[in-house]
Structure 1
Amino acid sequence: MLSKTEQDPQQQAKALSYQILSGFDKSYRRFSRITSGAQERFEKCQWDASSQGIKERITTYHQSLSEIVTEIYQHINPQQLPDSFWEATKEHYTKLLSSHPQFELAETFYNSVIGRIYRHGRIDDKIMFVLPSRCYLSGQDRHKVVNSFDTSGTVRAMYESIFDTYRFRVDFDNFELDLANLDKALRERLSIEQLASVHTVEMLKSVFYRGKAAYLVGRICMPNETLPFVIALQMTEKHTLMVDALLTERAHMSVIFGFARSYFMAQTQNPAEVVAFLQELLPHKKHFELYTSLGFYKHGKTVFYRNYLQHLDNSDDKFELAPGIKGLVMAVFHLPSYGVVFKLIRDEFAESKKITREHVKDCYRLVKMTDRVGRMADTHEYVNFAFPRARFDKALLDHLLATCASSVKFTETEVIITHMYIERKMTPLNLYLQQEQDEEKVKDAIKDLGLCIKQIAYANIFPGDMLHKNFGITKTGRVIFYDYDEICYMHERNFRELPKSNDPYALDTLSVAPNDVFPEQFEHFIVGKKHLKDLLKEYHGDLMSPQYWKEVQTIAAEGVIQNFTPYPAHIRFRQGTDD
């Protein structure tokens, strides 16, 4: 612990490095305690407690950070210390991390301390870990995170060995049926030659819990290839365990680890090794995406920033306004060669938007804390994010100055955005529907748009502004909502029928409260063109009914936690088991 009487700067720096690492270790113990409770919550079907666990685990980082910064200020005034002090502190801290199992997360925690002290006004590798302290060689701790299973016997024997290792304190509903389904699914996926060549099945020791599901995640190892091998488990209505599916396609596994879902609860003391293993299974996923999926969203931001710097060094295109209709609340730009968009809150909103800047921030926090059910894009919040000024398109600069001047600062070489969100890039749905020539793909997109709206509502979120420009579509054709400035809980809206009158101005004379919503009007603005409206009404006509929304309100008010499986229904072993 630091002492005011300590005069030797080196001793002070050393003491501070110990103090910060102690703060991180305390934070990680809290994180792990919440995560380790996921199995019991799953086995006891405590779905509401699972939802609370998501929120608690996100807030514990900020709590730990506030505690350690407060402790530091009780002993020293860190802002008055010279850079040489912080350089010495970083040097001592780096030595402490040489054998630390969560060294990379501890670096991010250190960065957060520096960021809090300097109000995120300094990004300097001399005093913080802008770059990692060392290159992690994956595989060195693989034995700590992976179980290997012998495949020299029968397929059934292998499965029995797996379930002898991963034990749950609850009975299987029909274990013999589950084994038969797993056996059949693997034999349908692999040829006889492939099955004969399998030499190992490797499974991460961590069980991945989320919502009403648990996943055993691993891979099938053959001489010339490896395949994902994910056993998806769910609880039945009888509170017994069942195997829901076997996933062996990367596309299916990719959706499970997608950016529109809440973070997994997966207990591990060696996150770098777990992420390295997952990245081998999903090579198209960035490391920052995988860290984020495990709940290490703060470190995900750190790894993203490093990836962003690397991409800048290896590209020369310019930042420009993102394609699509300009938003009334957010200004959005992108780097065409990079897979994210940057979103700033405008200084002023259109008159139709009766909201404030703080309201917008609250909405984004709400989405962060809620179960996004695979339908709401995750975002990362940044302050004082620096961009190279020479890489900014003039039209973009002009637009930002005209709409978001309070969030933009300049130096001779940089454009600094004082507050913004970063989000995964998708094709805006309105552009997709304009450009797509395949009628079946258009129909699928409209069908999935309706499902997207419904699933968000069942997750107790009313999307608010449901214009199709506020939705994106992924490369796999999945529709995702990404405009949050008008979202709210379902109980905060009053769904009403339109007045029955021949008077076209009847609605103007009707008493309308700010929280009133008329679903019969949805068909006029969710999608624009008539043939798209007709498709939406054909597939999801109930969306235009006040009664439908009232029924969803009732379900949400009862606290019913929904279960939307993140893989296709046709690969599920028991059809119709969803809530």
Structure 2
Amino acid sequence: MSEQDLAGRIAYRIIQHFDQSFRWFSRITRGAQERFEKGQWQQTQSAVKERITIYETSLADAVADIYHDVAVQQQNDAFWQAMKAAYARLLEGHPQFELAETFYNSVIGRIFRHRKIDDTLMFVLPSRCFLPGQDRHKVINSFDPATTVKQMYEALFKVYRFNVPFENFTRDLANLETALRKRLSTQQLANVTAVEMLKPVFYRSKAAYVVGRICMPDETLPFVIALQTNQQQAIFVDALLTDRKDLSVIFGFARAYFMADTLHPAEVTAFLQELLPNKKHFELYMALGHFKHGKTVFYRNFLRHLERSDDTFEAAPGIRGLVMMVFHLPSYGVVFKIIKDEFAESKKITRQHVKDCYRLVKMSDRVGRMADTHEYVNFRFPLDRMSPQLVEELQQTCASSIELTENELVIKHLYIERKMTPLNLYLEQETDPDKIHKAIDELGLCIKQIALANIFPGDMLHKNFGVTRQGRVIFYDYDEICLMKDRHFRALPKSDDPYAIDTLSVAPNDVFPEQFEHFIVGKKHLKALLKSLHGDLMTPTYWREVQLIAQRGEVQNFTPYNAKMRFSRE
């Protein structure tokens, strides 16, 4: 067999592995409707975890196939270039060509241990330009805007059908009609030119969303119908969302990935970005569960941003972490996190433990309170854009994770994460009492909701939380997290003898919630505010009750939009 034929055969085998992987991904995704209808919430969480593992399993199989058929180390660049060219031909007309490119990149990355980031060998740049709209009809249902509002809703629910009844369909239609008429004037309703809804329903946790838009000559509104089920597994409409802020939170980076079944993810994400222009394209791919391709899109976006900017990478603002070194590019919206070589004395953990904690968060329902992180290997930065102070600090704290070449700083292992304002800095800079009150309330809610998601946050110093543009407080430091069952919540011993010597025996997994008030926030008035708003956090009783909820396997549902948007069900 000629080298050209062998390259073509291997390329074909790789795309077969991708197609098999995508079918597996789609099968799990399609099952979301049945799980939603039957209230199978634990199965829903298991499906989320299984879907995340698909990619690595399929990648390992593809790489093993190549090593079985090819003496990898004996091939020159011409062979790999021929293989890429053969693969590119197979992508012509492929409905998921962009995801297939990423899968190919992962194969090449695994073979070369991510040391050859070269567009002649892999798809650093996309194989072709995607023009949004060319397959729009395949992902959109359009509804006649000339009918009455009620008739439009009736037509919509004839398309979006479920195998269980509505709790009260007449009430839901009335709620939806009233909500839309409050949002749009009679004149605006008369000027509606199109109602376009994405064909896939978006499922996550205990909710489902029908996502689309209402088009008028001068503006376009998001148009999202939020659905839930009651204890009898009857569906009800919970809210109508027409504000981009609400939609932005629903598609936020601190939530689990959606189950939304489509053969055309590029077209779906393009439509979503038209609704959410402030969201990065890679964030929307990640929201759909295609987080590996999201990483590819991020890297391409990152390279473009470097070309269009001239600022310098520097240490991120805030208190230095004991486990992670964090830096950023001021003009770009992410931070880069590297595990340090050595940890402070107080951190009785290992490097592998830190990785395991980040993996646990990836596999968990982040309930809108834990930032998603994305892992990279041998990530390259232009050395002339790195501040000398940052390079020096990285050499002092992370020497085993970095490599300097003539022109680049290579980081062997890092995480990227959405940039937020550290809560401690936010509270120092903010002067509005209402915003401070809201931030402290959000901090307490964040800790509680993470716990109800079966995660004990561990290190709850307020420097380990960030504030988003919408004012939400998000947790982002994971090196001490664990499952709730792994901690023993105890009351501090009390004695009537003021001269008694405390001989309390403390096990490694013991936690004393009464001590939380002394370290979550530092300033006295903030401690008092947190205690007044969430004093139960400082009691072992509260934490034991949450442990029992986790032991029973109860899955929580925190609606990601303002409670005022929820419809009355009376």
Q: Could you tell me the TM-score, scaled by structure 2's length? A: 0.99
Matched, 1:225 2:212: no
What's the secondary structure of 2:34's corresponding residue? helix
Distance 2:174 2:499 in 1: 64
How many Å apart are 1:394 and its aligned residue?
1.2
Aligned partners of 1:445 and 1:477 also within 8 Å: yes
For residue 269 of structure 1, report the CA deviation from its aligned partner.
0.3
> Which one of the candidate residues 14, 25, 29 is aligned to 2:19?
25
Q: How big is the shift at 1:468?
A: 0.2
Q: Which residue of 2 aligns with 1:519?
A: 513
Name the structure 2 match of 1:99: 93
Which amino acid is 2:396 matched to?
A
Shift in Å, 1:509: 2.4
Higher deviation after alignment, 190-199 or 331-340: 190-199
User: 2:500, 2:117 → 1: CA distance?
Assistant: 58
- 1:359 equivalent in alignment to 2:342: no
Given the alignment of the two structures, is residue 385 of structure 1 paired with residue 379 of structure 2, yes or no?
yes
Q: CA deviation at 1:371?
A: 0.2
Q: Distance in 1 between matches of 2:64 and 2:486?
A: 37
Given residue 482 of structure 2, which amino acid in structure 1 is its aligned partner? C
Q: Displacement, 1:321?
A: 0.3
User: Alpha-carbon deviations, 1:188-215, whole Å to 9, x = none?
Assistant: 0011111110121100000000000000
Q: Distance in 1 between matches of 2:149 and 2:551?
A: 46
**1:67 matched residue in structure 2:** 61
Q: Give the direction of change, closer, same or farther, for the CA distance of 1:533–1:14 in structure 2 (3 Å limit).
A: same
1:506-545 correspondence runs (5 A): 509-545=503-539
In 2: Cα distance, 1:565 partner to 1:521 partner = 31
1:167 to 131, 136, 161: 161
C-alpha distance in 2 between matches for 1:515 and 1:401:
34
Alignment of 1:127-138 (within 5 A): 127-138=121-132
Q: Identify the match of residue 486 of structure 1 among 469, 476, 480.
A: 480
Shift of residue 272, structure 1, vs aligned partner = 0.4
Cross-structure match for 1:216: 210
Offset at residue 100 of structure 1 (A): 0.2
Of 62, 80, 84, which aligns to 1:90?
84
Q: Which moved more, 1:449-458 or 1:70-79?
A: 70-79
- The partner residue of 2:392 within 391, 398, 411 is 398
Q: Aligned match of 1:123 in 114, 117, 123?
A: 117
The partner residue of 2:188 within 184, 194, 205 is 194
Q: 1:127 to 1:170 in 2, by over 3 A?
A: same
Q: Report how far residue 507 of structure 1 moved.
A: 8.7
Q: Is the 8 A contact 1:331 1:403 kept in 2?
A: yes
State the alpha-carbon separation in 1 of the partners of residues 9 and 255 from structure 2: 40
- Counterpart for residue 179 of structure 2: 185
Partner of 2:364: 370
1:245 aligns with one of 232, 235, 239: 239
Structure 1: state its 5+ residue gaps. 1-5
Q: CA deviation at 1:356?
A: 0.3
- Identity of matched residues, %: 69
CA distance in 1, matches of 2:424, 2:367: 22
In 2, distance between residues paired with 1:397 and 1:556?
44
Task: Give 1:138-537 correspondences, 5 Å limit.
Answer: 138-501=132-495, 509-537=503-531
From 97, 103, 106, the equivalent of 1:109 is 103
Q: Distance in 1 between matches of 2:71 and 2:568?
A: 62
Question: Which residue of structure 2 aligns with residue 47 of structure 1?
Answer: 41
**What's the CA shift for 1:575?**
7.3
Distance 1:76 1:506 in 2: 74
Aligned partner letter, 2:458: G
Q: Deviations over 1:239-272 (max 9, x none)?
A: 1100000000000000000000000000000010
Q: Secondary structure of the equivalent of 1:323?
A: coil
Cα distance, 1:291–1:237 mapped onto 2, change above 3 Å? same
Q: How many residues align?
A: 570
- The amino acid of 2:350's aligned partner reads T
Partner of 2:563: 569
Amino acid at match of 1:30: W
Q: Residues 504 and 125 of structure 1: is their aligned pair in 2 closer, same or farther, counting only changes over 3 Å?
A: farther
1:555 partnered with 2:549 = yes
Q: Is the 8 A contact 1:262 1:373 kept in 2?
A: yes
Q: Compute the TM-score of the two structures, normalised by the length of structure 1.
A: 0.97
After TM superposition, the structure 1 stretch with the greater mean CA deviation from structure 2, 378-387 or 113-122, is 113-122
**C-alpha deviations, 1:517-548, integer Å up to 9, x for none?**
00000000000000000100010000000000
Q: Deviations over 1:286-314 (max 9, x none)?
A: 11000000000000000000000000001
Letter in 1 for 2:191: S
Residues 1:504 and 1:146: Cα distance change in structure 2 (over 3 Å): farther
* CA 508–380 in structure 1, closer or farther in 2 if over 3 Å, else same: farther
Q: Give the residue type in structure 1 aligned to 2:109.
A: G
Tell me how far apart the structure 1 counterparts of residues 501 and 91 of structure 2 sit (CA, whole Å). Answer: 66
Structure 1 position 501, deviation (Å):
3.1
**Does the C-alpha gap of structure 1 residues 76 and 244 become closer, same or farther in structure 2, counting only changes over 3 Å?**
same
* TM-aligned CA deviation for residue 151 of structure 1: 1.6
Contact persistence 1:460–1:489 (CA under 8 A): yes
The Cα shift of 1:119 comes to 1.1
Taking the aligned partners of 2:212 and 2:295, their CA distance within structure 1 comes to 26
Letter in 1 for 2:236: M
Structure 2: distance between partners of 1:22 and 1:223: 45
What is the SS of the residue equivalent to 2:415?
strand
Measured after TM superposition, the shift of residue 506 of structure 1 is 7.2
Q: Say if 1:242 and 1:521 are closer, same or farther in 2 by CA, change over 3 A.
A: same
Q: Which amino acid aligns with 1:106?
A: A
- Given residue 563 of structure 1, which amino acid in structure 2 is its aligned partner? N
Relative distance call for 1:141 and 1:501 in structure 2 (3 A) is same
1:72 positional shift: 1.1
Using the alignment, how far apart are the partners of 1:494 and 1:304 within structure 2?
41
The answer to whether the 8 A contact 1:499-1:507 is kept is: no
Tell whether the 8 Å contact from 1:569 to 1:575 is kept in structure 2 after alignment.
no
Q: Give how far 1:508 is off.
A: 5.7
Separation (CA, whole Å) in 2 of partners of 1:87 and 1:469: 48
| Whole-Å separation in 1 of the counterparts to 2:272 and 2:240 | 17
CA distance in 1, matches of 2:496, 2:297: 60
